[in-house]
């Protein structure tokens, strides 16, 4: 007996150690680095980016969120991106209505929100409007804004990267010259794959090079900030398996912008509610989950729902409302620094604005190349795959309401009136008896409360009716028969639900995009080449022993250009390399 007890104690100790190690592994925080094609843009341009993610191997988030906001903390752009192989790339269109100002890009994963906003990646960019002729904001002598950083904080403590070798023959080049250089890795494990992005852009005078990916990922000392209480009120779920919708059921009605219905009391007002998620469609669909004792819930959303309008509601009647977590909500305000308030920045922006006008005049704008679109394997959350029978009302004489439709066309269903309401019952055709409860009713693919919400629908409004007059289990949920009605004009939009309900537009990720590689057209020599961005390639893939050759063409613009290469290996090692080249006229 003592020997058995001793063995059990050893096993328990091993289990605790393994569990602690697993928790420590899960606790490794994720980090993001965002490499952009440049720092100064003209309203109407595209901002190109490559996002790199570092975290737990095999347990990293599959989605990241990008926010572009102005000095008033208004969100200009909010997008979600798919992360594959620790990276994502794409572009954000900068509306030509944006004011000339300093803007901030913020990027993070849902998992990083648990660490607080100090863990987010932030970056400032300048956007100038081509119709803004004065640009007073960027006159350093008239700038009165408050700065949270001193210029010395922007000096880059460059971490030397000896794992990336670039062969560049010279530093000075002529205008319209073809430039070729090669990239290779060194001292990388044999089966490691490196993914890189390359930017070659005109240098903005006075602005130092931004921190590299190596500096970012190796900088573990981050400033601490005060986190708002409501920011840390729940734990945000890691989106490792897929997108997650999180929220709370609030038992007291709240005012807000969301449309909430349903204020009926229930005998025991507990928080173990069932939350239903579905979307209007030609098939009955649904996901569901149960809220915990605090009313919090989370749903691993099926890819079928991406980009669609969702109807999220409680199954139970309650005096409550549903509040969804806003993944784009930021609590720390953005105060522009003085990074771009330097002598010469205004004249550089005026020049950039004039260059943009020349490009528009000659219709010279880089085409966008849509890369591989990530396709997800869809397992549609169908409520059923085959009905017992289908009815197409157009095949019969017109009937004015659903009472007549059930009586004349649906032999297993019976509608009767009780007081001022109608009740639907269903005959179990398999066991030849009545089912105990009213069958589950779906209208345009969405579950509704009861038959009274469809009682006025006639055959001229209905396209198809599916009936399953048997008990069916959907997960652990018992459905005592199913009635699915599909209308001609989405009648679900006219339904007033009796339980707390909100409509929510599900996110869809941006496609992978990049500018098409520039090839000079020598047949149109009269068109000036005034590109300030000579090259942006967001997806260079290198195997360990591979040497990749990169080529680009200089433009007619003389000056200094920075080559910035950032990347990461499949085992999480950051890679970077930077150099400055000069473009001059042939006469020089």
What's the pLDDT score for residue 187?
80
Q: What is the pTM of this model?
A: 0.85
Burial class (CB in 10 A: 0-12, 13-18, 19+), 466: buried
Residue 296, CA distances (Å) to 238, 261, 311, 316 in order:
16, 19, 18, 15
SS3 content of the chain, % helix, strand, coil (to 5): 15, 35, 45
CATH 2.60.40.1930 spans which residues of the chain?
30-217+330-374+511-584
Structural contact between residues 390 and 349, judged by C-beta atoms closer than 8 angstroms = no
Using DSSP, state whether 467 is helix, strand or coil. strand
Residue among 122, 119, 99, 112 nearest 34 (CA): 122
pLDDT digits (tens, 9 = 90+) for 134-160: 777 776 544 333 333 333 333 344 456
Tens digits of residue pLDDT in 276-296: 999 999 999 999 999 998 899
CB pairs under 8 A, 24+ apart, for 461-465? Answer: 461/487, 461/488, 461/489, 461/491, 462/393, 462/405, 462/486, 462/487, 462/488, 463/392, 463/393, 463/394, 463/487, 463/488, 464/390, 464/391, 464/392, 465/390, 465/391, 465/392, 465/393, 465/405, 465/409, 465/410
Give the pLDDT of residue 252. Answer: 63
Q: Which residue has the tokens 């737990």?
A: 56
Instruction: Specify whether the backbone of 400 is left (phi greater than 0), alpha (psi in -120 to 50) or beta.
Output: alpha
Element housing 297 (H / E): strand 296-300
Total Cβ atoms within 10 A of residue 284:
27
CA distance 86 to 77: 23
Of 212, 209, 211, 193, nearest to 201 by C-alpha is 209
Structure tokens at 369: 């190349």
Which residues, in sequence order, are bridge partners of residue 417? 422
Q: Which CATH architecture has domain 30-217+330-374+511-584?
A: Sandwich (2.60)
Cβ neighbours around 174 below 10 Å, total: 15
Strands 172-174 and 164-167: unpaired
pLDDT of residue 373: 57
Q: DSSP H helical segments within 242-388, as ranges?
A: 345-361
Please list the pLDDT of the chain residue by residue as tens digits (588 residues): 444 444 344 334 433 333 333 343 345 689 999 999 999 999 999 999 999 999 988 889 999 999 999 999 999 999 999 999 999 999 999 999 999 999 999 999 999 999 999 999 999 999 999 888 777 777 654 433 333 333 333 334 445 677 888 999 899 999 999 999 999 988 887 788 999 999 999 998 888 788 999 999 987 445 444 444 444 445 899 999 999 999 999 986 544 444 444 444 444 455 679 999 999 999 999 999 999 988 999 999 999 999 999 999 999 988 899 999 999 999 999 999 988 888 878 888 888 888 888 878 777 666 676 665 556 667 899 999 998 999 999 899 999 999 999 999 998 899 998 888 999 998 877 666 666 788 999 999 999 999 999 999 999 999 999 999 988 899 999 999 999 999 999 999 999 999 999 999 999 998 889 888 888 876 677 788 899 999 999 999 998 878 999 999 999 999 999 999 999 999 889 999 999 999 998 766
Q: What is the pLDDT of residue 259?
A: 46
């Amino acid at each position: 007996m003592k020997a058995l007890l001793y063995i059990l104690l050893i096993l328990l100790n091993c289990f605790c150690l393994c569990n602690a190690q697993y928790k420590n592994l899960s606790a490794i925080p994720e980090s993001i680095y965002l490499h952009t094609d440049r720092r100064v843009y003209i309203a109407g341009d595209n901002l190109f980016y490559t996002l790199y993610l570092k975290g737990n191997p095999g347990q990293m988030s599959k989605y990241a969120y990008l926010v572009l906001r102005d000095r008033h903390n208004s969100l200009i752009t909010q997008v979600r991106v798919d992360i594959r192989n620790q990276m994502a790339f794409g572009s954000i269109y900068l509306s030509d209505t944006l004011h000339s100002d300093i803007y901030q890009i913020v990027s993070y994963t849902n998992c990083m929100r648990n660490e607080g906003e100090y863990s987010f990646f932030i970056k400032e960019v300048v956007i100038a409007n081509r119709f803004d002729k004065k640009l007073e904001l960027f006159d350093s002598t008239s700038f009165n804004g408050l700065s949270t950083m001193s210029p010395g904080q922007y000096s880059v403590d460059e971490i030397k990267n000896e794992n990336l070798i670039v062969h560049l023959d010279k530093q000075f080049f002529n205008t319209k010259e073809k430039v070729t250089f090669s990239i290779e890795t060194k001292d990388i494990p044999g089966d490691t794959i490196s993914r890189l992005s390359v930017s070659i852009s005109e240098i903005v005078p006075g602005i130092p090079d931004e921190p590299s990916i190596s500096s970012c990922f190796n900088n573990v000392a981050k400033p601490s900030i005060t986190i708002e209480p409501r920011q840390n009120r729940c734990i945000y779920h890691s989106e490792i398996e897929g997108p997650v919708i999180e929220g709370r059921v609030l038992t007291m009605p709240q005012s807000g912008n969301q449309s909430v219905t349903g204020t009926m009391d229930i005998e025991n007002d507990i928080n173990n509610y069932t939350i239903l998620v579905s979307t209007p469609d030609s098939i009955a669909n649904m996901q569901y989950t149960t809220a915990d004792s605090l009313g919090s819930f989370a749903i691993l959303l099926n890819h079928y729902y991406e980009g669609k309008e969702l109807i999220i509601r409680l199954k139970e009647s309650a005096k409550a409302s549903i509040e969804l977590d806003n993944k784009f909500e930021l609590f720390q305000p953005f105060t522009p620094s003085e990074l771009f308030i330097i002598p010469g920045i205004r004249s550089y922006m005026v020049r950039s604005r004039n260059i943009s006008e020349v490009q528009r005049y000659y219709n010279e704008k880089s085409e966008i190349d849509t890369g591989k679109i990530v396709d997800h394997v869809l397992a549609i959350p169908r409520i059923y795959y085959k009905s017992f029978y289908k009815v197409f009302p157009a095949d019969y004489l017109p009937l004015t309401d659903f009472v007549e439709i059930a009586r004349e066309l649906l032999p297993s269903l019976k509608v009767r009136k009780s007081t001022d309401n109608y009740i639907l019952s269903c005959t179990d055709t398999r066991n030849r008896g009545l089912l105990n409860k009213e069958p589950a009713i779906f209208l345009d693919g969405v579950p509704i409360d009861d038959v009274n919400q469809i009682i006025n629908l006639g055959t001229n409004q209905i396209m198809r009716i599916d009936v399953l007059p048997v008990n069916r289990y959907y997960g652990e949920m018992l459905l005592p028969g199913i009635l699915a009605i599909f209308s001609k004009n989405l009648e679900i939009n006219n339904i007033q639900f009796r339980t707390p309900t909100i409509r929510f537009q599900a996110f869809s990720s941006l496609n992978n995009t990049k500018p098409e590689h520039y090839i000079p057209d020598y047949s149109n020599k009269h068109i000036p080449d005034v590109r300030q961005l000579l090259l942006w390639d967001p997806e260079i893939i290198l195997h360990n022993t591979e040497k990749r050759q990169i080529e680009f063409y200089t433009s007619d613009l003389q000056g200094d250009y920075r080559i910035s290469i950032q990347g990461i290996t499949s085992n999480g090692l950051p890679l970077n390399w930077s150099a400055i080249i000069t473009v001059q006229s042939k006469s020089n």
